[in-house]
Structure 1
Amino acid sequence: MTASLSAPTQRAAWLEQWLSQLPAASGALAAVQQRGRAALAQQGVPSSRSEDWRFTDLSLLQALPLAAAQPAQPTLAAGGSVLRLQLDGQSDPLAGVTLPAGLEVLSEAELAQGLGHTLAATACQQHWPVELNQASATQVLALRVKSRASAALELVSASSGGMLPLRILLVLEEKAQLDLSQLIEARAAGLVSLVIEAHLARSAQLRHGLVAFGQSDAALFSHIAVEQEPESQAALSNVAAGWGLARHEPRLVQVQGQAHSLLRGLQLVGGQQIADTHSFVQFSGPEGELDQVHKAVAAGQGRSVFNGAVRVPREAQQTNAAQLSRNLLLSDRARIDTKPELEIVADDVKCAHGATVSSLQTDELFYLQSRGIGAEQAAGLLKRAFCEEVLRALPEPARQWCPLDQLELESA
């Protein structure tokens, strides 16, 4: 590992080098690229002195190749009845594709109006990973699900090294439904940057499942920002494993309340890997609901971080919000940092949060072994059972991308 990015001069030098290697801004996102690059030059690289970044060691970035990622084919079986699009950050994923009924591409005017709107609404338009994506992304998948239509999509991406920026904009009209399964794979040293914006009109339903498998010399940054109008439903689930550094930030705002949000997260770390989740939910009206469960499995010297912020202002009366962080430690050297966080001003609410950290239970292992199951297999079954609550929330294609062997972690 190269020297840490802790020193300001090192951070500035790394960022300056990365910015200098970016191609000239061009295409439909040229203005966005220019704004992102200017913002990065002004912000610099976050340091551990910032509360949001004090547990996120960015030293891995200094060792990563800075060139654009080479396109690669994901390791997936042939697609089924669901339309599968490959996002490689360089080519148009819709070239030569006929979209199913109910799905259509946003116009250039709609793209210009919508891009960045939900990021601003969820107060993350200036977050460093977002600016990093905006500085480098040249392609955007911008789709509308028409009113009362129902659609399903698979989005797959594979990185063979380098920088892979992915940008998605979704607009769901009234009573529209979208099941979105997304797979990201990293097969070499590199950085994958994902930014998704989704606007849900009244009674719209979005179910998004992200499965991200990396390796110890690769990093992942993902921001998923969602605006919900009344009676809409958003279910966001993610599973991340294998990344040297992974930071996931789901952010939701119920613009007038009366919506339902479900968040499920699972991060698995081993070796010296770091996984960091910062979620944010804002209730801006009454009778909103949140059901959030975040789980982590940490082995070796892996480190898992969770910070879940829920904001319930005075206008959000009769909010019903539950947030739970559950964590499994498989090693004495692994570390869990968890901080569920509720900020409540309204006085007529049902809000609860909690956090637990435990290890595999000896009595449960003994029970399985007494039934003739080997010690290693018994531990694997218990780990899989711990993960199952999150896996069940994934759309079916995404669930099939999570075989048992992908979720195994050594306890040493």
Structure 2
Amino acid sequence: MKKFSPPEMKEVSFPTPYTPLPHTPHPTPQPPTLQPLLPMTAIITKPEQSGELLLKLSRETVPTIDNGKILELRESGASKAQELAIPGRKDEEWQFTDLSQLWAIDFRAPQTVTIDKNALAAFLLPEAKNSRIVFVNGIYQPELSDISALPAGVSVSNLANAQKDVLVNYLGKEKTPEFFTALNQAGLSDGAVIHVTANTVVTTPIHLLFITVVEEIPRFYQPHSLIVAETGASVNIIENYGALAEHCSDLPVNYSYFTNAVTEIYLEANAEVIHTRVQRESGDGFHIGRTIIEQGRDSRYTLNEINLGAKLCRHNLDILQKGEQTETNLHGLAMITGQQTADTHSAIYLNHPHGIAKQLHKCIVDGSAHAIFNGKVFVPKPAQLTNASQLNRNLLISNKARVNTKPELQITADNVKCSHGATVSQLEADDLFYLQSRGLSADTARSLLIDAFSAEILAKIPLESLRQRLGQCVACRSVE
């Protein structure tokens, strides 16, 4: 493959002929029961108007718990959202992400729906069949949840049933201002809470499942998750976003919705969290997520992230190493096609000696899709003897596919081992010819090369069933 390392954020495309093949549908799930719909109103065109509407919808949500901490956070979030500027192309952090389609939609508040348990079949994981908590349209569903397999020392609940001291000590702890995070906080009404007490090792994976029922009226959902691993604790989390659909969760359905998700993860000293985040929203949905990780000394955090769905997906990832000998591993894969946009912005702050940070993010871009990656690693003077590496690899399949990439290292410490880089490539004619000369068809050869490119990230996923399922998704898309 021909490769290069761009010194700054650039847009790249390659002229590669591409012929789509038919898509193989999945079994049709049982349809949900919806409450009566509300009439549509005029389309909004200005970001300021849309921002005001989203804030209004956030403030109108009713908390599921009468808790002073929740009310305080809601008021603080609303105040911040009013003060902060609406993100746009003039902002450096958003210059390659076009939000105009999002701002043009008149979103409505969440709607309570009833779905049958069988409708979740495509999302359930056999390894976590008795260790899952389910939210539908942002609302906790106890009848669809099952945590009977979890041991003593770990609690999984919604906000209303969470321990008050956990909420007081951790919820909303990170104060970094950002518009969409402030919106989520202003509308804080319910969410998932996982609390692992000191020295508890949870061998059963815990599945956080956030399902959207797509309908004609565009809805606005704001899930919030809080994960706390106390000193010496260990836990494996799967955070899964998807939409009920007749075929694949991430296929377009001609109806829009907006998921604005925030996840807070706190690791105390010597704790370990393995976190798999899967985003398979509807192809006409919008997903903006922020994940905040705070690590104590000797802790280990691993993220395996897969982005396949949404018309526009943006993930803001912030990791703060707050102790010595802290380890952070980030593995990401975005596979997009059509008119999709997938944007990953990450920032790792190594503030203490002997820190480790390793990041590998891959993008497979087809059709007229657009991938964006901006990763920052900060190594200040106190972070001596740090070992940090960052690599963004991109594979462009079609002649209209685009990528903007900008890995960054900001180093002031003088005794460190750090590296970063980016590559952009296309499928090589020589590789395709070689495989075809061994009797493979052109489509099979292309599919094998794409599968090989993605395999390094998929292999990191700790659950075999999920790893196989996502591998099938990649294989299916590689021959579309």
Tell me the TM-score normalized by structure 1: 0.90
CA deviation after TM superposition for structure 1 residue 347, in Å: 0.4
After superposition, the CA RMSD in angstroms is 2.4
- Note if contact 2:451-2:474 (Cα within 8 Å) is conserved in structure 1: no
CA deviation after TM superposition for structure 1 residue 411, in Å: 8.7
- Equivalence for 1:39: 80
Distance 1:260 1:96 in 2: 32
Per-residue Cα deviation, 1:364-409 (whole angstroms, up to 9, x for no partner):
2122212222111211111111111111112215424414235644
**Which secondary structure state, in structure 1, belongs to the residue aligned with residue 231 of structure 2?**
coil
Distance 1:45 1:92 in 2: 33
**Which secondary structure state, in structure 1, belongs to the residue aligned with residue 166 of structure 2?**
helix
Distance 2:394 2:471 in 1: 20
Q: 1:306 to 1:244 in 2, by over 3 A?
A: same
- Equivalence for 2:24: none
**Which secondary structure state, in structure 2, belongs to the residue aligned with residue 63 of structure 1?**
coil
In the alignment, residue 243 of structure 2 is paired with which amino acid?
A
Instruction: Say whether 1:66 aligns with 2:122.
Output: no
1:134 to 167, 185, 189: 185
2:473 to 401, 405, 412: 405
Per-residue Cα deviation, 1:139-167 (whole angstroms, up to 9, x for no partner):
12222212222222011121123222211
**Which secondary structure state, in structure 2, belongs to the residue aligned with residue 402 of structure 1?**
helix
1:332 to 382, 391, 399: 399
- Note if contact 2:109-2:221 (Cα within 8 Å) is conserved in structure 1: no
In the alignment, residue 293 of structure 1 is paired with which amino acid?
L
> Please, which moves more after superposition, 171-180 or 104-113?
104-113
> Please, which moves more after superposition, 214-223 or 323-332?
214-223
2:122 to 76, 79, 96: 76
Q: 1:24 to 1:80 in 2, by over 3 A?
A: closer
CA deviation after TM superposition for structure 1 residue 130, in Å: 0.9
**Which secondary structure state, in structure 2, belongs to the residue aligned with residue 133 of structure 1?**
helix
> Please, which moves more after superposition, 210-219 or 97-106?
97-106
CA deviation after TM superposition for structure 1 residue 97, in Å: 4.6
- Note if contact 1:64-1:191 (Cα within 8 Å) is conserved in structure 2: no
Report 1:12-411 matches (<5 A).
12-22=48-58, 23-26=60-63, 27=65, 28=67, 29-61=70-102, 62-63=104-105, 65-68=107-110, 70-71=112-113, 73-76=119-122, 79-82=125-128, 83-88=131-136, 89-91=138-140, 97-98=147-148, 99-104=150-155, 106-117=162-173, 119-120=174-175, 125-151=176-202, 152-161=205-214, 162-187=219-244, 188-396=255-463, 397-406=465-474, 408-409=476-477
Per-residue Cα deviation, 1:226-259 (whole angstroms, up to 9, x for no partner):
1111211100111111311100122111112311
**Which secondary structure state, in structure 1, belongs to the residue aligned with residue 440 of structure 2?**
coil
Sequence identity (%): 32
Q: 1:137 to 1:76 in 2, by over 3 A?
A: farther
- Note if contact 2:55-2:183 (Cα within 8 Å) is conserved in structure 1: no
Per-residue Cα deviation, 1:252-291 (whole angstroms, up to 9, x for no partner):
1111231111001111222221111000100110011111
In the alignment, residue 167 of structure 1 is paired with which amino acid?
H
Q: Which stretches in structure 2 are left out of the alignment for 5+ residues? A: 1-41, 157-161, 245-254
Tell me the TM-score normalized by structure 2: 0.78
**Which secondary structure state, in structure 2, belongs to the residue aligned with residue 394 of structure 1?**
coil
Distance 1:182 1:92 in 2: 16
CA deviation after TM superposition for structure 1 residue 410, in Å: 6.5
- Equivalence for 2:25: none
Distance 2:126 2:309 in 1: 27
Q: 1:361 to 1:24 in 2, by over 3 A?
A: closer
**Which secondary structure state, in structure 2, belongs to the residue aligned with residue 46 of structure 1?**
coil
- Note if contact 1:384-1:404 (Cα within 8 Å) is conserved in structure 2: no
> Please, which moves more after superposition, 62-71 or 82-91?
62-71
Q: Work out which of the two has the higher radius of gyration on C-alpha atoms and give 1 or 2.
A: 2
**Which secondary structure state, in structure 1, belongs to the residue aligned with residue 140 of structure 2?**
coil
Per-residue Cα deviation, 1:90-139 (whole angstroms, up to 9, x for no partner):
2265988544322026521330221121x33xxxx311221122122311
> Please, which moves more after superposition, 32-41 or 149-158?
32-41
- Note if contact 2:47-2:100 (Cα within 8 Å) is conserved in structure 1: no
CA deviation after TM superposition for structure 1 residue 297, in Å: 1.0
- Note if contact 1:183-1:212 (Cα within 8 Å) is conserved in structure 2: yes
Distance 1:24 1:193 in 2: 14
> Please, which moves more after superposition, 369-378 or 233-242?
369-378
Q: Which stretches in structure 1 are left out of the alignment for 5+ residues? A: none
Q: 1:78 to 1:57 in 2, by over 3 A?
A: closer
CA deviation after TM superposition for structure 1 residue 191, in Å: 1.1
- Equivalence for 2:22: none
Distance 2:209 2:478 in 1: 28
Distance 1:376 1:175 in 2: 49
Distance 1:77 1:218 in 2: 18
Q: 1:398 to 1:137 in 2, by over 3 A?
A: farther
CA deviation after TM superposition for structure 1 residue 79, in Å: 4.4
- Note if contact 2:312-2:342 (Cα within 8 Å) is conserved in structure 1: yes
> Please, which moves more after superposition, 371-380 or 62-71?
62-71
In the alignment, residue 140 of structure 2 is paired with which amino acid?
S
Distance 1:38 1:398 in 2: 40
Relative contact order: is structure 1 or structure 2 higher (C-alpha 8 Å, sep ≥ 6)? 2
In the alignment, residue 182 of structure 1 is paired with which amino acid?
E
Distance 1:215 1:404 in 2: 18
In the alignment, residue 467 of structure 2 is paired with which amino acid?
R
> Please, which moves more after superposition, 301-310 or 359-368?
359-368
Distance 2:146 2:394 in 1: 45
- Note if contact 1:146-1:176 (Cα within 8 Å) is conserved in structure 2: yes
